[in-house]
Amino acid sequence: MTTYDDFERTAGGAVLMDGNKLRDEIVAGIRAKIDSLGNPAVCLATVLVGADKPSQIYVRNKHRKAEEAGMISRHVELAEDATQDDVENAVRDLAEDSGVHGILVQLPLPAGLDAERVLDLVPPEKDVDGLTERSMGRLVRGRVGHVPCTPLGVMRLLDRYGVETSGKQAVVIGRSTLVGLPQVLLLGRKGCDATATLAHSRTSDLAGVCRQADIIIAAAGMARLVTAEFVKPGAAVVDVGISRTEDGIVGDVDFDAVQEVAGAITPMPGGTGPMTIGCLMENTLAAARMLGAVPT
Ligand code: NAD
């Protein structure tokens, strides 16, 4: 049994919220669950349109982790010049296929394709990315459904590393439907009970707003936006942002400076990225349960 008091710490003394470690725990737990059920087929299907290199890598990693989790995966790849009908037909086929439990359409789609119309074809039970209108509606209404993987991964990290949320002040930087908006909903939900503020590019005195917070979740995509001046001593700081710079891939958080002040911090890479995939696996097992392919 893993204990919670032996966390690795940064040089400055902050708890390191290790996403690789937690993702591995989640994947191993799913594998054990599927094994214990006699290995029912749990299938994740991905749809990739075009030849975007990062998207290809993301999809490959998802398949690798699905296999490690004891799932089977299917992949549909369409050319860059695929038409709206081609993509919609591919998703429709997967939606109707009872052997497929989770469908993930890798975004963004090439220019000229309407992603909303494609996502509309994914049934809520199979929407393991949690990004469709119906899944978002279920999240807002507090009904059973899939939650977007990145904000769900952040919640798992906070929980695993003992970051208290009830009655605490949380600031989320970024208001996208992919990360920031569902993140605020999850933090404010009953059971988590944080007081969550949604900050964005028009927020005045962002540093001052963040300095009030016990928890900061940065999802702006602005390299090293969150400096030590943003952080109240002891606060938990979660970095979601990914920026490609001359120094390589950089997060939204100035890790070296912030780890001196924060009580807990995610590394970048190795924090929220792996957790996104771990939660995709969690959602896929939940999808198989919702569809009756795996006992509840
Ligand atoms: P987005 O561009 O849709 O949204 C960015 C948000 O940040 C906007 O709401 C904007 O108002 C806000 N913002 C931008 N600049 C700001 C500033 N200077 N101050 C305050 N707010 C500002 O992006 P997204 O899809 O939400 O993704 C956000 C970041 O997270 C990106 O870097 C993306 O690559 C990354 N991301 C990481 C993961 C992961 O697994 N770690 C998953 C998804 C997205």
CB neighbour list of residue 36: distance below 8 Å, 6 or more residues apart: none
Residue 49 pairs in a beta bridge with 78
**Which atom in ligand 1 lies closest to the alpha carbon of residue 180?**
26
Cα(174) to centroid(ligand 1), Å:
5
Range list for CATH 3.40.50.10860 in the chain: 38-126
Q: What is the CATH number of domain 38-126?
A: 3.40.50.10860
In this structure, what token pair is assigned to residue 135? 């899944």
Q: What is the pTM of this model?
A: 0.97
**161-273, what's its fold?**
Rossmann fold (3.40.50)
Let me know if 247 is a catalytic residue.
Answer: no
H or E stretch at 172 = strand 169-173
Let me know if 65 is a catalytic residue.
Answer: no
Cα(95) to centroid(ligand 1), Å:
30
Q: Are 233 and 211 in contact (CB under 8 A)?
A: no
Q: Are 270 and 20 in contact (CB under 8 A)?
A: yes
Q: Are 99 and 43 in contact (CB under 8 A)?
A: yes
Any ligand 1 atom below 6 A from CB of 201 = yes
**Which atom in ligand 1 lies closest to the alpha carbon of residue 252?**
32
Integer Rg of the chain from CA: 19
3-state secondary structure of 218: strand
- CA-to-CA separations, 249 to 109, 199, 243, 246, in angstroms, rounded: 22, 23, 6, 8
128 CB burial (10 A radius; 0-12, 13-18, 19+): buried
Phi, psi (degrees; rounded to nearest 5) at 272: -75, -25
Q: Are 128 and 73 in contact (CB under 8 A)?
A: no
Let me know if 56 is a catalytic residue.
Answer: no
Any ligand 1 atom below 6 A from CB of 177 = no
Any ligand 1 atom below 6 A from CB of 180 = yes
Distance CA 172, CA 276 (A): 17
86 CB burial (10 A radius; 0-12, 13-18, 19+): middle
Please report, in tens digits, the pLDDT of each residue of the chain (296 residues total).
Answer: 455 567 999 999 999 999 999 999 999 999 999 999 999 999 999 999 999 999 999 999 999 999 999 999 999 999 999 999 999 999 999 999 999 999 999 999 999 999 999 999 999 999 999 999 999 999 999 999 999 999 999 999 999 999 999 999 999 999 999 999 999 999 999 999 999 999 999 999 999 999 999 999 999 999 999 999 999 999 999 999 999 999 899 999 999 999 999 999 999 999 999 999 999 999 999 999 999 999 98
Any ligand 1 atom below 6 A from CB of 273 = yes
Atom 1 of ligand 1, nearest CA residue: 176
Distance CA 122, CA 96 (A): 10
Cα(220) to centroid(ligand 1), Å:
3
Any ligand 1 atom below 6 A from CB of 241 = yes
Range list for CATH 3.40.50.720 in the chain: 161-273
Distance CA 61, CA 39 (A): 22
Any ligand 1 atom below 6 A from CB of 172 = no
